[in-house]
Amino acid sequence: MDQEYRHIWGRLGADMALTKEEIEILMHTDETHGYDNGVCTKIILKAFVENRIQLAGDCYIPDTSVETYNEEYGTDYEESECCWYM
């Protein structure tokens, strides 16, 4: 039996084991330097593949995502932020 997957946007807290150089790049990514020129994405994806990132900490689905989910899937969840801690 195939499982139907639905999409919803949320933020997940994470503990990241990164090199000094990787952290330096991430820390200097802002509006001035561009939020992501591909380098940051490569750093994070590489760390995930190498199991250097573990989900941990504060996580949430914002109220706007709940609202969008309700509209897309015809549900009626309360449109407030859903939070949990890992």
Domain that holds residue 41: 14-85
Give a yes or no: residue 7 inside a domain: no
User: Does the pLDDT at position 74 exceed 90?
Assistant: yes
pTM for the model stands at: 0.74
Give a yes or no: residue 5 inside a domain: no
Give a yes or no: residue 9 inside a domain: no
Give a yes or no: residue 1 inside a domain: no
Confidence of residue 31 (pLDDT cuts 50, 70, 90): low
Q: What is the pLDDT of residue 39?
A: 85
Average pLDDT of 54-82? 96
Output the CA–CA distances (angstroms, integers) from residue 5 to 17, 34, 73, in the order listed. 30, 33, 11
Give a yes or no: residue 2 inside a domain: no
Contacts of 76 (CB under 8 A, 6+ apart): 70
Kind plus residue range of the DSSP H or E element containing 48: helix 39-49
Burial class (CB in 10 A: 0-12, 13-18, 19+), 13: middle
User: Does the pLDDT at position 40 exceed 90?
Assistant: no
The tally of domains found in the chain comes to 1
